[in-house]
Amino acid sequence: MKKIYPLSNDTWDNEEIEAIQEVIESRRFTMGQKTKEFEEKFVKYFGSKYAVMVNSGSSANLIAVASLIYSGRLNKGDEVIVPAVSWSTTYFPLFQYGLKLKFVDIDLETLNLDLTKVEKAITKKTKAIFTVNLLGNPNDFEKLSKICNDNDLILIEDNCEALGAKYNNKYTGTFGDIGTFSTFYSHHICTMEGGVALTNDEELYHYMLSIRAHGWTRDLPANSKLFKKSSNSFYESFNFILPGYNLRPLEMEAAIGIKQIKKIEKIIKTRRKNADYFVEIFKDNKNISIQKEIGESSWFGFAVMLKNELKGQRDKVIKFLTENGIEVRPIVAGNFTRNTVIRYFDYEISGELKIADYIHENGFFVGNHSNLIKKVIILFFEKITKFK
């Protein structure tokens, strides 16, 4: 069936193609000056101090957690609170570094961490909260930051779905000790594959620079407190100090990103305009509830929770929508504790995950685009309201 309402759209034009061609002609394909330029423009746009571009948002989460481990701010066995609904690579780095995950339920309206339940979940072993701005929707950072400050907790912010969102006129992804972003194809800006970690902490920045590229010293500045580099550039080219990875981006991705940054304001404005119409048309629907916006969401997509007459009929609804050219996806990974991979984790569930279960069984999302899509929103509304 032809997709009449796909999940995402293409935000490229000739500028991005020309940027790729420029890199091809330069013959410098791996991380270089374009990457540095992209990072500089990224921090300037979002008002942070340091950016590390990597090959995916998942890798951004990985270097974020790794930097907190190697800097001694987190240690194996420490407890990290996470929302029960998120993408897999919010959780995997925590498992991979021997941290204990404590799953907390989400709020039915915002789809973010239920902060009342977060407060009840905190113990002496809790050292961090890894929050997620789900589907572009900010957390209540006034409350969340107070919880972290009152309990001396590290705040990590998975902002991979929320580039351009704001809370109290401050960009999400800049509230935590580290914030992570994705620039994968279906996200707000697209660099093919790609991700970014933002921080205001110079030490964590230097750890992430090293971890990104093999754990070597080559990319560290001469004045880094992380390691005192010698003046021997030959030796420092292959000098390893951390168990790092190869998570470097391509210069093509960075070159595309430089062009995409210029479009962020327009992209977010359009997505919010689409959302205004989506919210208006669905606000009084008796069989569907939608996500409640906190602050200024960048509306990655539109969440749909089936209720009343449609509750328990998700499989039939999805089949019907798909047959009518409307592409749908689960709300991220639903209740992640219901995935088989959980058997490998050291984890605990705080209280019950009733809302996560409800989302797991009755939730899905449709796409938002960076161009106006009123016609397909109407199509979706007409189809789902006629479903029997």
Residue 388 has a pLDDT of 74
Among the listed residues 54, 128, 60, 127, the one whose alpha carbon sits nearest the alpha carbon of residue 89: 60
Amino acid at 143: K
C-beta atoms surrounding 12 within 10 Å = 16
Residue 1 has a pLDDT of 66
pLDDT tens digit sequence for 190-234: 999 999 999 999 999 999 999 999 999 999 999 999 999 999 999
Question: Is residue 288 very low, low, confident or very high in pLDDT (cuts 50, 70, 90)?
Answer: very high
Amino acid at 184: F
pLDDT surpassing 70 at residue 99: yes
pLDDT tens digit sequence for 233-286: 999 999 999 999 999 999 999 999 999 999 999 999 999 999 999 999 999 999
Distance separating alpha carbons of residues 252 and 90, to the nearest angstrom: 26
SS3 content of the chain, % helix, strand, coil (to 5): 40, 20, 40
Distance separating alpha carbons of residues 363 and 365, to the nearest angstrom: 7
**Rounded percentage of the chain residues whose pLDDT exceeds 90:** 98
Task: Give the phi and the psi of residue 188 in degrees, each rounded to 5.
Answer: -60, -50
Environment class of 340 (CB within 10 Å of its CB; exposed 0-12, middle 13-18, buried 19+): exposed
Amino acid at 133: N
Q: Looking at residue 329, what DSSP letter applies? A: B
Question: Is residue 148 very low, low, confident or very high in pLDDT (cuts 50, 70, 90)?
Answer: very high
Distances (CA, A) of 132 to 73, 88, 129, 158, 250: 20, 12, 10, 5, 27
Among the listed residues 78, 83, 125, the one whose alpha carbon sits nearest the alpha carbon of residue 97: 78
Q: Are strands 100-104 and 79-83 parallel, antiparallel or unpaired?
A: parallel
pLDDT surpassing 90 at residue 75: yes
End-to-end CA distance of the chain: 21
319 CB contacts (<8 Å, ≥6 apart)? none
All domains of the chain, ordered by start, with CATH? 14-261 (3.40.640.10), 264-386 (3.90.1150.10)
369 catalytic residue (yes or no): no
Range list of H helices, the chain: 14-26, 33-46, 57-70, 88-96, 115-121, 141-150, 202-212, 233-236, 251-261, 264-282, 314-323, 354-362, 374-386
Distance separating alpha carbons of residues 368 and 306, to the nearest angstrom: 19
The three-state DSSP-derived secondary structure of 147-196 is HHHHCCCEEEEECCCCCCCEECCEECCCCCCEEEEECCCCCCCCCCCCEE
Q: Are strands 301-306 and 288-290 parallel, antiparallel or unpaired?
A: antiparallel
14 CB contacts (<8 Å, ≥6 apart)? none
pLDDT surpassing 90 at residue 2: no
**Can you state the angle between helices 264-282 and 374-386, rounded to 10 degrees?**
30
Question: Is residue 387 very low, low, confident or very high in pLDDT (cuts 50, 70, 90)?
Answer: confident
pLDDT tens digit sequence for 301-322: 999 999 999 999 999 999 999 9
Question: Is residue 157 very low, low, confident or very high in pLDDT (cuts 50, 70, 90)?
Answer: very high
